Amino acid sequence: MESKTSIRPNIPSAKVNETMSAEEQFQNAVLRPIIKMQYNLIIALFDNYLQHADFNLKSLEVYQKNEFLKTAVTRNQHLRNQYVGMVIGMFTDEEFTLYLNNASEYSRRIIQMISQRLQDTY
């Protein structure tokens, strides 16, 4: 069986060095590859959210669309929890322990990155 880390994509631009904060190192080494790997599920979940919300993104200007996307992901607690859970589920035991030491900061970073991915996609 492959390990969780071996199936993650390599992101050459996600540099990790000792001058970065521990949070930034975790973001680049763990969160970014997981979010990239889970991209299709992230989009599918948001498409499902839009269907149930009966909302048409195409009717909005770019600024309005980006604001809607940010707001949907940050303020809808159910959607937010699903996204954070989607990422946490791909952690190793050690990564989960690190996550628990600063869960609110890492969850904020997860949501921020997913929000950006959604804005770039839609």
Domain that holds residue 47: 22-121
DSSP code at position 8: S
- Domain membership of residue 102 (yes or no) is yes
Number of domains in the chain: 1
Long-range contacts of 55-62 (CB under 8 A, 24+ apart): 57/122
Residue 100 in this model has a pLDDT that exceeds 70: yes
- Domain membership of residue 3 (yes or no) is no
Per-residue model confidence (pLDDT) at position 6 = 79
The rounded distance, in Å, linking the Cα atoms of 83 and 118 is 12
Tens of pLDDT, residues 24-51: 999 999 999 999 999 999 999 999 999 8
- Domain membership of residue 91 (yes or no) is yes
Say whether pTM exceeds 0.85. yes
Secondary structure of 50-108 in HEC code, one letter for each residue: HHHHCCCHHHCCHHHHHHHHHHHHHHCHHHHHHHHHHHHCCCCHHHHHHHHHCHHHHHH
